[in-house]
């Protein structure tokens, strides 16, 4: 599970690293609003429920890789215009690499 988190964190930070001047808030507005609503209710029960099947684990992994891309894209767009194109390209490349390796990542993170 630790490797999975590292991959997601690396993907999210890839865009931010290239856009060092970006604002600190890289959460898309619609996600921020949902997060605020959920936080006010306490931790959602789903945070503590493991995915029981490989298909569910893969679905969650792909969802998190997509969320990391959204955050990286937002960080790129908030960064300097001169770096934006290369930042977005790198974020997209990281996304494609992570998606291509999703099954391998899932297997590594769910070994017993």
Rounded CA separation 8/71 (Å): 11
pLDDT for 50-77, tens place per residue? Answer: 888 999 999 999 999 999 999 999 999 9
Whether residue 38 is predicted with pLDDT greater than 70 in this model: the reply is yes
Full-model pTM: 0.63
Cα–Cα distance for residue pair 110/112, rounded to 1 Å:
6
Q: The tokens 């898309």 sit on which residue?
A: 28
Domain boundaries, the chain: 2-109
pLDDT confidence of residue 88: 97
The per-residue pLDDT for 94 is: 97
Q: How far apart are CA 99 and CA 57, in angstroms?
A: 13
Residue 104: pLDDT over 90: yes
**Has residue 29 got a pLDDT over 60?**
yes
């Amino acid at each position: 599970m630790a490797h999975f988190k590292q991959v997601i964190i690396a993907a999210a930070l890839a865009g931010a690293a290239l856009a060092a001047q970006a604002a600190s808030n890289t959460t898309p507005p619609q996600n921020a609003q949902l997060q605020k609503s959920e936080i006010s209710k306490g931790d959602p029960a789903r945070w503590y429920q493991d995915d029981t099947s490989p298909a569910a684990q893969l679905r969650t992994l792909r969802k998190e890789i997509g969320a990391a891309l959204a955050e990286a894209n937002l960080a790129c767009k908030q960064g300097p215009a001169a770096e934006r194109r290369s930042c977005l390209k790198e974020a997209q490349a990281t996304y494609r690499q992570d998606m291509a390796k999703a099954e391998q990542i899932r297997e590594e993170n769910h070994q017993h």
